[in-house]
Structure 1
Amino acid sequence: MAGAGSGKSLRIVFATIGSFGDLHPYIALALELNRRGHRAMIAGSDVYRDKIQALGIDFHPLGPDFNRVQSVPGLVDQVLHPRTGAETLIRDVMMPNLRESYADLSAAAEGSDLLVSHPLAFAARLVAETQGRRWASTFLAPFTALSVHDPSVMAEIPFLNLLRPLGPPLFRQIYHHVMLRAHDWSAPWHAFRAELGLPPAADDPLFAGQHAPDLALGLFSPLLGAPQPDWPRNSMATGFAFHDDDDQAGLPPDLAAFLADGPPPLVFTLGTTMVRRPGSFFEDSLKAAQRLRRRAVLLVGSKSSLPLGPLSESAISVAYAPFSALFPRAAAIVHQGGVGTTGQAMRAGRPMLVVPFGYDQPDNAARVTRLGIARSLPIGRYTASRAADQLGRLLDQPSYQRRASEIGRKIAAETGTQTACDALVALAEAGQNPDRQSPRLRAAG
């Protein structure tokens, strides 16, 4: 079971940083690799240690320490800011902790056959080069590829979607200016690279330099973002790598009883990051559902000011429920547009209203809107009346549900986890056997 090539058990280390949406794809890959007889390790924030080890996956801590980050007054709010959060995250969180991250990942990668990086794992390329180790990169959303042929919407420039018809020449200029503006964000990475004795890098780790030369995996469906001519070389869109907490245990009993007691409800969620700063989202959502005379499920997290449990005969508030069990039972899904939540909603085959905050969320919202399975309402414009209006249009037009069902069937037929693991194993085995060629994977899907 240890692979179709050499048959030798491989040790593969995943380096990831971020929320559950940044962790779950690597859990899916690690579980599949372990099932095949290999040995996977996840290097990530220590807050995930128990969660990862409980699944039988090796774990190694990887800085920055997010407990320490969260203790800095106001820093989390700055990181979650819709327009400037990315700059704060890189300048004030990632780069100041680069040495810590490098030391942690150097230890984790010792003796491994392959190192696999998340886009924010800036130390991974440095570790791979200093240790002479095989390296594969991943990107979790099309946004990260920054293709001029399939332009992304940026939170800092929300009107970019309107400029798509103007084509690649305009977007080459726009991306050039974006990269110039962000160039000094990564200056500490270049300085540390020189300190390690590595040659200067011509590319930027925030952009093209984050992608490994031998294999760059887009861990999402080509329906969300099809491979483009200017994607990284040796890249592919594998399909989503799904993992859901407690998906075997099913729904909480009170939620299961609520769902069984009436028609499919509207489901409102902000994922696991934006739920920390929901503002009036859940109160407005409850009012919107009442205006539409629809039942509602609110996934409010563990620290909500709303009480947990039944809010009325037609609404219930729960801290969390596995998306894979809940979403297929919804009439429509209202969410923040994180790529993990978006993928789960696409697989469920339900129409959605996307309420993007920042980062890749505006781009994901634009993509599912173009697919004909969603409408979008930015968080800054989200009110009870506007949400009710958008949801009314979503539910009253049968084309949304028809298209969402079609997309759901296609997503369900994809084999993202298996496809990604096949490519990772092939690359790792090529490293063990110099006579074997590295995989040359232009695109899949």
Structure 2
Amino acid sequence: MRVLLFPVGSYGDVHPFIGLAGELQRRGHQVILHTSEHFRPLVERAEIDFHPVDTEEEYKRTISDPNLFHPLRGFGTIARSIILPWQRRHYEIIAREVASGRNDLLMVGSALAQGLQMAHEVFHVPLATIHLQPSVLWSNIRPPRLMRRMPAGTGMPLWWNAGVYRLAERLMVDRVLRGPTNKFRRELGLPSIVRSTQLWHSPQKVIGLFPSWYAPAQDDWPANTVLADFPLWDESELGELDDDVREFLDAGDPPIVFTPGSAMLNGHAFFQEAIAACRILGRRGILLTRFPQQLPEQLPSGVRHFKYVPLSQLLPHSAALVYHGGIGTLSQACAAGVPHLIMPFSHDQPDNAERIERLGIGSTLYPSQFRAGKIAEKLQHLLQSDQTAHACREISARLANPQGVSRAVDEIDRMLTKNTLAET
């Protein structure tokens, strides 16, 4: 079968799909991964066929937007820069595949790959949606935390939670997506949608790449949802730990690792406070960013910068992780058994932070609270807490034999088998 993968976003969004692609290829499927041109070198290094959806210039323009991680304006930025232009591009990719006579296709994409939904409606190509984080699965029973001060929550009346979500949906999602999406749908002869989130979940298969102990399935999630596990693919299988990193790790106590995310270009304050917190604690630190212009020209002794280190190789030798709350980074910290200190900006990050606190393996500081003294205080408590250490070990043990990628591909294989049988 020919499986077309469509990740949308940053490295944390693309990594899991590379893991899926590799497993699908090992099972004998032909795989093509469609995403930003920026990721071509990585995808080709993993020996996966690649097709670009945008240009390097478009990718850089998107991540340079200061509103990208704004708690209120961030989704609009993503919608205008990625979701809407990629709708047509994704649809046209599938249209070309169908026009070439292919009838052995299956599409796999994220909630943001909405052009695939239209292609499914027009051409009836099977579609699976991959959700990397539970926050895109709204529940009136147990709502995800979509912002710091969320006026909905567990224990509130279901009608209230539904109303809060519908209001947020209208103001933040439908306002930017519904009009242009319906215009495109009319071009295709498709009926208009009432809610933009109708296109977030495949009507055939929704796969959550996270475990049930992290986010238990809710009765009001889409009925076709299955949960796998964290994928935990992060380039470690493409090379050994860099010698410079290994030498730094071997030269002293386990460092604290700081990263605001692979797509963060406006993290100057984050790193400034991180360096100051290391001074207060007398601890060594590692600063991870692909954009060193965010860092001071000279770093203090005991603090090093590296552009990228696979966290599965780095975190087992580290004391703690301070980061933005992205689900890919979070899953690696869970697997390594280190405490989390999360500074959530927007999108899925506040929800992930709340879940980590609920598990007892980390704490949260929102950007307005993210100051060196507070960081040091939180880290000191986390590093000295026997209760936190015990919870981290327990969570790490649950991920000792990760099955996320293989279980997700099992579900995709079931779709492929069902589709093949339906054609015979």
TM-score, reference length from structure 2: 0.92
1:19 aligns with 2:10: yes
How far did residue 96 of structure 1 move? 4.5
Show the counterpart of 1:180.
170
Q: Deviations over 1:409-436 (max 9, x none)?
A: 1023341111000000110121111189
Show the counterpart of 1:141.
133
CA distance in 1, matches of 2:215, 2:226: 10
* 8 Å contact from structure 1 (residues 282, 300) kept in 2: no
Q: Deviations over 1:358-390 (max 9, x none)?
A: 111111011111110010001232111111111
1:402 aligns with 2:390: yes
* 8 Å contact from structure 1 (residues 60, 108) kept in 2: no
Q: Deviations over 1:269-301 (max 9, x none)?
A: 122012x11022112111111111112111132
Counting only pairs closer than 5 Å after superposition, residues 420-439 of structure 1 correspond to structure 2 as: 420-434=408-422
CA distance in 2, matches of 1:248, 1:47: 18
Residues 69 and 264 of structure 1, relative CA distance in 2, 3 Å threshold: closer
Residues 82 and 180 of structure 1, relative CA distance in 2, 3 Å threshold: closer
Q: What SS does structure 2 have at the residue aligned with 1:399?
A: helix
Residues 69 and 24 of structure 1, relative CA distance in 2, 3 Å threshold: closer
Show the counterpart of 2:142.
150
Counting only pairs closer than 5 Å after superposition, residues 296-335 of structure 1 correspond to structure 2 as: 296-306=285-295, 311-335=299-323
Residues 39 and 22 of structure 1, relative CA distance in 2, 3 Å threshold: same
Counting only pairs closer than 5 Å after superposition, residues 286-297 of structure 1 correspond to structure 2 as: 286-297=275-286
* 8 Å contact from structure 2 (residues 312, 332) kept in 1: yes
Show the counterpart of 1:253.
243
Show the counterpart of 1:348.
336
Counting only pairs closer than 5 Å after superposition, residues 113-124 of structure 1 correspond to structure 2 as: 113-124=105-116
Q: What SS does structure 1 have at the residue aligned with 2:145?
A: coil
CA distance in 1, matches of 2:322, 2:91: 38
Show the counterpart of 2:271.
282
- Counterpart code for 2:302: S
CA distance in 2, matches of 1:300, 1:57: 25
Residues 98 and 213 of structure 1, relative CA distance in 2, 3 Å threshold: closer
CA distance in 2, matches of 1:162, 1:398: 33
**What is the RMSD of the two structures over their aligned residues, measured on CA atoms?**
2.3
1:106 aligns with 2:95: yes
CA distance in 2, matches of 1:59, 1:48: 9
Q: Deviations over 1:64-118 (max 9, x none)?
A: x45235448x962122323211022214543255333422343357624211111
Show the counterpart of 1:50.
41
Show the counterpart of 1:5.
none
Q: What SS does structure 2 have at the residue aligned with 1:60?
A: strand
CA distance in 2, matches of 1:295, 1:161: 39
- Counterpart code for 2:253: P
Query: How many positions carry a matched residue from both structures?
Result: 419
Q: What SS does structure 2 have at the residue aligned with 1:316?
A: strand
* 8 Å contact from structure 1 (residues 113, 431) kept in 2: no
CA distance in 2, matches of 1:254, 1:334: 21
CA distance in 1, matches of 2:97, 2:48: 13
CA distance in 1, matches of 2:48, 2:303: 38
Q: What SS does structure 2 have at the residue aligned with 1:160?
A: coil
Runs of 4+, deviation exceeding 6 Å: none
Q: Deviations over 1:156-185 (max 9, x none)?
A: xx2228843325332112112122323232
* 8 Å contact from structure 2 (residues 53, 86) kept in 1: no
Counting only pairs closer than 5 Å after superposition, residues 210-249 of structure 1 correspond to structure 2 as: 210-249=200-239
1:29 aligns with 2:11: no
1:197 aligns with 2:189: yes
Show the counterpart of 2:401.
413
Q: What SS does structure 2 have at the residue aligned with 1:350?
A: coil
Residues 278 and 52 of structure 1, relative CA distance in 2, 3 Å threshold: same
Q: Deviations over 1:145-165 (max 9, x none)?
A: 01122211113xx22288433
Q: Deviations over 1:46-71 (max 9, x none)?
A: 222232122221122224x4523544
TM-score, reference length from structure 1: 0.88
1:77 aligns with 2:66: yes
Unpaired segments ≥5 residues, structure 1:
1-9, 437-445
1:159 aligns with 2:145: no
1:360 aligns with 2:352: no
CA distance in 2, matches of 1:57, 1:432: 24
* 8 Å contact from structure 1 (residues 217, 236) kept in 2: yes
